[in-house]
Structure 1
Amino acid sequence: MLDTVDWRAENPKKARNKQLLHYWICQTQKIYCETQAEELRPHVDIHSGCIKKIAALRIENQQLYEELGRLQTENAILKQNESRLSFEEQMTSSDQRIQFYTGLQSKALFVWLLSFCSPALPACKVLSPTCVMMCIIMKLRLNLQHQDLAYRFSVSVTTISDILNQELPKLAEKLSFLIQWPDKDSLIRNMPNVIKITYPKCVSIIDCFEVFSQRPGQLTARAQTWSNYKHNNTIKFLVSITPTGANVRIHVERAIERLKNCNILSSSMSLYMVPHADSIVTICSALCNLQPKLLSEVFTCIMVSNGTYCNSPF
């Protein structure tokens, strides 16, 4: 009986101890887990912060690359504009350079020509009006290839072709007023005495000249442009000047020689320039009429008419 009672008396105590032991173990594990969590939490926060910083740096890096590309493009454009501006300044730096590139006698005359023709010039995004005018006149004066002009002005060949195709007719129309023929009374009044005596009814001295052209592919055009005198395909022009001296043929030949100082008229004209032949001769004649008089005894009032009047029959 005692054993049975003792066992029953000790059983609640053992149960209580087991409960306390279990509670203590649970608390210990809880504390351990919380401690571990506290220790791991800073690492998790640091990792998350690093990811956010890396993402921000990537965005910033992309923005910097875009800014670098923009600055490189801007730098290339500035260098191109600087080289173009430098060439423009070189061309117009002195009367000698102006005369070489354009045939005009002075920078002041070129500035006047530019200001007068500027309304007819295109609104070009890559070239200034000065460069556009120089490009056209240099083509006529020096007969430079399109590629050469493109290199000089730092543009494409297509831009040069577009400028010439669009502006030659407009410029010819703008400058046509420089090619004037005086009325008969003005001719007689200002005619040199030697002409009045020798050729009292003379009002014009005429001659013809031919410009070589490339051989046309079309048979009809090839036949129309063939010259038995030159034995080549040519474009024919009639030149007329006002009376300026006794040996009239010499002076008209001098006028033609002055006209042919525009190299585009003294060399073989390319086929893509032939459609602009009338415009080309009109512009060249107008520029010749801006040059000094052939003879000093011709009066100033008809100085403009002392150049050449040209018209193409084709």
Structure 2
Amino acid sequence: ITYSAISAIFNINPTTVTRVFYNILYALASQTKHFIFWPDKKTVFNTLPKAFKSNYPNCRCIIDCTEIKTEQPSTVEQRVYMYSHYKNTYTIKVLVAITPSGFISFVSKCYGGRSSDTFITNDCGFLSKLEPNDEVMADKGFPGIKVSCENVKSVLVVPPILHNRRFTEEEVLQTYSVASVRIHIERVFSRLKTYSILNKITVDLLPSTDEIIYICCVLTNLQSTYYVTRIQY
């Protein structure tokens, strides 16, 4: 709903609507700044779903980047930075980490759609959260962070990558095993994107996307949780 529509409904000036929106947005972001946090190992492992315990007992988090469409930016520099070849449109990207139980534990700042998953992960400060022996689950778009994870003595868990050959039976089973629990983050993204403000970010909201996405993540965390129940392979 537009500012003009709200101003008509409540019979107030559109400028007042805009001011109230931003005042509330920044107030919410400030007051909830500790709502998304990195739980300690003990907390994560004490809430580890059964689906993880047999194959991924040291899983600290599942990570992925999500893209959110935007209107066409006003400057050429912004258009180059924000154009996503994957989505074939202008987007912003954020890295999100969730615990195995589905709690959003890390949200990066926003990046242009042109930025790679590897660049965002290495740049946003996520790696500084990891501790020795932590397992980080990701998809095939994150092979470039393997060395970065090893540098902090953590383990990157991704599905096997096919190199001009067929998967072995063991690799097929490993692919299913990773996918059966990694899909958990896709469910979180589905919940996150139920907030219609993320359907398409307007140009006037671009300077405030960090706060908007953060608040949507906070609201997602406040929903009832669920656990992975898929069978392990």
* TM norm structure 2: 0.61
CA distance in 1, matches of 2:201, 2:217: 17
What does 1:193-272 correspond to in 2, within 5 Å? Answer: 193-244=50-101, 247-265=180-198, 267-272=199-204
CA distance in 2, matches of 1:242, 1:149: 38
What does 1:276-291 correspond to in 2, within 5 Å? Answer: 276-291=208-223
Q: Is the 8 A contact 1:205 1:252 kept in 2?
A: yes
What does 1:4-83 correspond to in 2, within 5 Å? Answer: none
* 2:124 is the alignment partner of 1:191: no
Structure 1: tracts of 5 or more residues without a match: 1-143, 298-314
Report the Cα offset of residue 271 of structure 1: 0.6
SS at 1:243 equivalent: coil
CA distance in 2, matches of 1:219, 1:183: 43
Q: Is the 8 A contact 2:25 2:211 kept in 1?
A: yes
The amino acid that maps onto 2:197 is: I
Aligned in 2, Cα 1:216/1:296: closer, same or farther, shift over 3 Å?
closer
The amino acid that maps onto 2:60 is: V
The amino acid that maps onto 2:18 is: S
How many residues of Structure 1 are paired with residues of Structure 2 in the alignment? 153
CA distance in 1, matches of 2:225, 2:21: 29
CA distance in 2, matches of 1:155, 1:237: 35
Partner of 2:170: none
CA distance in 2, matches of 1:294, 1:147: 39
CA distance in 2, matches of 1:288, 1:155: 31
The amino acid that maps onto 2:11 is: S
Q: How big is each residue's C-alpha offset from its partner over 1:242-279, in whole Å with a ceiling of 9 and x where there is no partner?
A: 113972232111100100010111x2211110111010
The amino acid that maps onto 2:88 is: H
Report the Cα offset of residue 152 of structure 1: 2.5
SS at 1:293 equivalent: coil
CA distance in 2, matches of 1:164, 1:227: 29
Report the Cα offset of residue 296 of structure 1: 8.7
CA distance in 2, matches of 1:295, 1:147: 42
Which one has more relative contact order, counting CA pairs under 8 Å at least 6 apart? 2
Q: Is the 8 A contact 1:192 1:244 kept in 2?
A: yes
SS at 2:71 equivalent: coil
Report the Cα offset of residue 226 of structure 1: 0.8
SS at 2:31 equivalent: helix
Q: Which has the greater radius of gyration?
A: 1
Report the Cα offset of residue 180 of structure 1: 2.1
**RMSD, aligned α-carbons:** 1.9
Partner of 2:16: 159
Q: Is the 8 A contact 1:207 1:252 kept in 2?
A: yes
Structure 2: tracts of 5 or more residues without a match: 103-176
Partner of 1:89: none
Structure 1 residue corresponding to 2:227, chosen from 295, 298, 302: 295
Higher strand share: 2
Partner of 1:312: none
Fraction of identical pairs, as percent = 36
SS at 1:206 equivalent: strand
SS at 1:203 equivalent: strand
Higher helix share: 1
